[in-house]
């Protein structure tokens, strides 16, 4: 038996997408020694797939934009279930976070006067998304990656060691967080390449592990999206909030089958693309909900005029928030007006010249050409909803991103609150930057407060973690983890998907209980070096815990709001808006409790008309007096 590999750091950041890297930069700028743990190679995290851009009210394209407008849009998009404090911080700080990226070397597309260009997106009142064509996520992650490298170069000049303050651990998966008397003490995991186990001791851990997409069958998420952070946090004693809210992005590819679910950026619609059904009708005009009636065009003519004259026309309903568009597409397909492959048409070919399409949407052009033999400059795309994002997540304190477990922080998709019941496009990349930075800062301040040393990790804790990680090797002829995974994905897609009912969710929970039994007897073939079967067997435990939290919360919430649509409770309820659903792990099950939302601060409430608030809030919550 070889000696266990051990490391000690001030801050461990689990996850190397936008939030994790920004957190690591902040912790290092605050003098902390930081370990960055990536499940894949450095620079490959899921952030790379974001296409549209970073929402920030810089006002470069329309000077009427400011943080108050962005705040309002975010709250409306989330149907007022958002953590209003997070939405406020996000709207205020996003511009600084984008400008900072330019100091790291980012090269955004420009306006005519040389500023960062901004594009229109669903739910955003003004052009707001800083972008680079349709590969904005790649620019974001590469920029942060290169900033980390530049900090390592600074450290090298100072100490002769590139890794004196930041070390990147690639292809390393964390299987368990370690706590001592209710405080963060470290993390335990394995190197994917060798299968060697490794212990990190640290008083502070930042979770930045992203989402849970791989729990669903049709998803825009990669293999990494197995809900690791959600599960690690719950098992260690932290909580999640509102896990029922899952965003189904309205436009995923639907054909060929092997690419089903891959994202088609909302920029296609932001730049003029329209949705039509098999009868050639622009159907979104039939799906403008009451709460948005005054904000959207009622005729195609008005919608088309908006692109060139936004001050005197209302935006087309193709740019409604994502939950509305996804439900509309779902309804059209169900009503028999879908395309041959079960989607609807998204057409930009009749709207923009071919060279403009190739320039503005290069990776969409490339993706359809190479994967589907479709030339989007000449013919429409076929698209349909795909599981894209989880609005719910680990419950955090809005200013510091600390969870209920002292020393554990969370930022980015793994954290809950900012987006309420539905996230606006573009608000994810800004979320990563604003709250990644705040989590890095929160963790640094925490380390200063507790005096730097991590609580002890006992041999017993290590032995338990080892046994857990290696358990699948001890099962002779056990069940194949791939089989259970694919059954779980079908269950979640079919029974806890875009439209939900009580009986189906009960059925899903019963099936999840069955998978929980079966997972005990999952076995793996082969050795410990880079063994995907073993990796999946461990990831599957996280997915099951997350799936149970999603299904239980979805069953509990008896209303329809944002990314949670109940066939049996189709209306949005002001009473339910006052409720957050909190999940904890009891060891072998998920326990759910209700928790009241904190009332919005008066000056933020004053940013809205009472007539609008009355669509969301109960009578007693409405501000009294003149507005």
Partner 1 sequence: MGYSAKFKVWRGDDEGGALEDFDVDVNEGEVVLDIVHRLQATQAPDLAVRWNCKAGKCGSCSAEVNGKPRLMCMTRMSTFDPAETITITPMRTFPVIRDLVTDVSYNYTKARMVPAFAPPADLEPGDYRMAQVDVERSQEFRKCIECFLCNNTCHAVRDHEDNKDGFSGPRFLMRIAELDMHPLDTVDRRDVAVEDHGLGYCNITKCCTEVCPEHIHITDNALIPLKERVADKKYDPLFSVSSLFRKATGRDKAPETPKG
Per CB under 8 A, contacts with partner 1 among 110-129 are: 110, 113-117
Question: Left (φ > 0), alpha (ψ -120 to 50) or beta: where does 227 sit?
Answer: left
Question: Left (φ > 0), alpha (ψ -120 to 50) or beta: where does 110 sit?
Answer: beta
Classify 410 as helix, strand or coil. strand
Residue 42 binding partner 1, by CB under 8 A: yes
Minimum distance of partner 1 from residue 598's CB (angstroms):
33
The tokens for 196 are 């060697």
Q: For CA atoms 498, 502, 503, 509, give the dihedral sign.
A: positive
Q: Could you tell me how many residues of this chain bind partner 1 (CB under 8 A)?
A: 71
Nearer Cβ to partner 1 (57/550) = 57
Residue 40 binding partner 1, by CB under 8 A: yes
For residue 627, say if its preceding peptide bond is cis, omega within 30 degrees of 0. no
Stretch that binds partner 1, among 85-93, 398-406, 532-540, 556-564 (CB under 8 A): 532-540
CB hemisphere CA count around 569 (13 angstroms): 18
Minimum distance of partner 1 from residue 540's CB (angstroms):
13
Nearer Cβ to partner 1 (110/449) = 110
Minimum distance of partner 1 from residue 527's CB (angstroms):
7
Minimum distance of partner 1 from residue 544's CB (angstroms):
18
Question: Left (φ > 0), alpha (ψ -120 to 50) or beta: where does 575 sit?
Answer: alpha
Residue 336 binding partner 1, by CB under 8 A: no
Candidates 82, 120, 152, 377; binder of partner 1 (CB under 8 A) is 152
Candidates 125, 139, 332, 401; binder of partner 1 (CB under 8 A) is 139
Nearer Cβ to partner 1 (46/541) = 46
Cα separation, 16 vs 383, in Å, equals: 30
Residue partners of 532: CB distance under 8 A and separation at least 6: none
Query: What Cα–Cα distance (Å) separates residue 174 from each residue in 209, 343, 395, 499, 614?
Result: 10, 38, 20, 34, 46
The 3 state secondary structure assigned to 530-552 is: CCHHHHHHHHHHHHHHHHHHHHH
Residue 486 binding partner 1, by CB under 8 A: yes
Stretch that binds partner 1, among 15-23, 197-205, 230-238, 518-526 (CB under 8 A): 518-526
Residue 257 binding partner 1, by CB under 8 A: yes
Nearer Cβ to partner 1 (262/592) = 262
Classify 15 as helix, strand or coil. coil
Q: State the catalytic residues.
A: 249, 269
Stretch that binds partner 1, among 175-183, 255-263, 426-434, 489-497 (CB under 8 A): 255-263
The 3 state secondary structure assigned to 190-234 is: EECCCCCEEEEECCEEEECCCCCHHHCCCECCCCCCCCHHHHHHH
Q: For CA atoms 127, 251, 207, 25, give the dihedral sign.
A: negative
Nearer Cβ to partner 1 (150/503) = 150
Residue 132 binding partner 1, by CB under 8 A: yes
The arrangement of strands across the sheet holding 183-191 comes to: 5-8, 197-201, 183-191, 172-180
The arrangement of strands across the sheet holding 129-130 comes to: 54-55, 129-130, 118-119
Residue partners of 140: CB distance under 8 A and separation at least 6: 18, 47, 50, 54, 101, 106, 429, 432, 433
Minimum distance of partner 1 from residue 343's CB (angstroms):
14
Candidates 31, 182, 256, 599; binder of partner 1 (CB under 8 A) is 256
Minimum distance of partner 1 from residue 18's CB (angstroms):
14
Residue 138 binding partner 1, by CB under 8 A: yes
Minimum distance of partner 1 from residue 111's CB (angstroms):
8
Nearer Cβ to partner 1 (370/490) = 370
Residue spans of alpha helices (H) in 361-501: 362-372, 427-450, 459-470, 481-495
Binding residues for partner 1 restricted to 163-182, rule: CB under 8 A: 170
Binding residues for partner 1 restricted to 46-105, rule: CB under 8 A: 46, 48-49, 95-96, 99-100, 102-105
Nearer Cβ to partner 1 (170/331) = 170
Minimum distance of partner 1 from residue 481's CB (angstroms):
8
Binding residues for partner 1 restricted to 357-376, rule: CB under 8 A: 363, 366-367, 370-372
Nearer Cβ to partner 1 (38/545) = 38
Candidates 30, 62, 68, 146; binder of partner 1 (CB under 8 A) is 146
Minimum distance of partner 1 from residue 519's CB (angstroms):
15
Candidates 183, 237, 482, 591; binder of partner 1 (CB under 8 A) is 482
- Match 């098992």 to its residue by tokens: 235
Q: For CA atoms 366, 372, 378, 384, give the dihedral sign.
A: negative
Using DSSP bridges, classify how beta strands 579-585 and 240-241 pair: parallel, antiparallel or unpaired: antiparallel
Residue 307 binding partner 1, by CB under 8 A: no
Candidates 77, 380, 481, 497; binder of partner 1 (CB under 8 A) is 481
Candidates 1, 3, 160, 258; binder of partner 1 (CB under 8 A) is 258
């Amino acid at each position: 038996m070889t000696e266990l590999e051990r490391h000690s750091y001030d801050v461990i950041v689990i996850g190397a997408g936008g939030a994790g890297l920004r957190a690591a930069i902040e912790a290092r700028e605050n003098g902390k020694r930081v370990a960055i743990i990536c499940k894949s190679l450095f620079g490959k995290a899921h952030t790379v797939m974001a296409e549209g851009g970073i929402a920030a009210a810089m006002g470069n394209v329309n000077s009427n934009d400011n943080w108050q407008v962005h705040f309002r849009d975010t709250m409306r998009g989330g149907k007022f279930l958002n953590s209003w404090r997070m939405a406020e911080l996000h709207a205020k700080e996003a511009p600084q976070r984008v400008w900072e990226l330019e100091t790291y070397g980012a090269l955004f597309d420009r306006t005519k006067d040389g500023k960062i260009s901004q594009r229109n997106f669903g739910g955003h009142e003004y052009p707001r998304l800083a972008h680079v064509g349709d590969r904005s996520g790649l620019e974001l992650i590469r920029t942060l990656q290169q900033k980390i490298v530049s900090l390592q170069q600074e450290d090298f000049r100072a100490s002769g060691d590139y890794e004196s303050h930041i070390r990147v651990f690639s292809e390393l998966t964390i299987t368990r967080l370690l706590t001592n008397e209710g405080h963060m003490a470290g993390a335990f995991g394995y190197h994917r390449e060798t299968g060697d186990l490794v212990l990190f001791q640290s008083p502070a851990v930042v979770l930045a592990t992203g989402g849970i997409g791989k729990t669903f069958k049709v998803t825009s998420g990669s293999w990494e999206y197995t809900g690791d952070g959600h599960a690690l946090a719950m098992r260690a004693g932290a909580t999640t909030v509102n896990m029922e809210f899952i965003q189904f992005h309205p436009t995923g590819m639907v054909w060929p089958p092997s690419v089903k679910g891959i994202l088609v950026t909302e920029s296609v619609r932001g730049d003029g693309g329209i949705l039509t059904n098999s009868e050639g009708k622009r159907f979104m005009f039939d799906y403008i909900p009451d709460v948005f009636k005054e904000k959207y065009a009622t005729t195609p003519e008005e919608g088309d005029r908006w692109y060139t004259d936004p001050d005197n026309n209302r935006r087309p309903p193709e740019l409604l928030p994502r939950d509305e568009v996804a439900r509309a597409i779902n309804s059209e397909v169900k009503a028999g007006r879908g395309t041959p492959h079960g989607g609807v048409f998204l057409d930009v070919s009749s709207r923009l010249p071919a060279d403009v399409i190739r320039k503005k949407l290069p990776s969409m052009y490339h993706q359809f050409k190479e994967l589907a033999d479709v030339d989007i400059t000449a013919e429409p795309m076929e698209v349909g909803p795909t599981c894209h994002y989880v609005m719910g997540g680990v419950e955090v304190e809005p200013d510091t991103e600390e969870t209920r477990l002292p020393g554990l922080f969370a930022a980015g998709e793994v954290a809950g609150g900012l987006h309420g019941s539905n996230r606006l496009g573009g608000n994810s990349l800004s979320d990563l930057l604003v709250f990644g930075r705040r989590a890095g800062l929160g963790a640094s301040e925490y380390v200063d407060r507790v005096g730097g040393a991590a609580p002890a990790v006992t041999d017993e804790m290590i032995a338990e973690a080892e046994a857990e990680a290696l358990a699948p090797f001890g099962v002779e002829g056990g069940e194949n983890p791939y089989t259970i995974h694919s059954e779980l994905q079908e269950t979640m897609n079919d029974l806890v998907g875009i439209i939900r009912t009580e009986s189906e969710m009960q059925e899903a929970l019963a099936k999840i209980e069955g998978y929980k039994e079966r997972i005990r007897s999952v076995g793996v073939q082969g050795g410990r070096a880079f063994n995907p079967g073993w990796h999946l067997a461990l990831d599957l435990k996280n997915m099951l815990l997350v799936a149970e939290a999603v299904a239980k919360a979805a069953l509990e919430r008896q209303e329809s709001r944002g990314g949670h649509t109940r066939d049996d409770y189709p209306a949005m309820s002001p009473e339910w808006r006052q409720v957050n659903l909190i999940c904890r792990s009891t060891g072998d099950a998920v326990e759910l409790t209700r928790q009241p939302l904190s009332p919005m601060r008066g000056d933020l409430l004053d940013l809205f008309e009472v007539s609008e608030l009355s669509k969301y809030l109960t009578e007693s919550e409405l501000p009294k007096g003149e507005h």
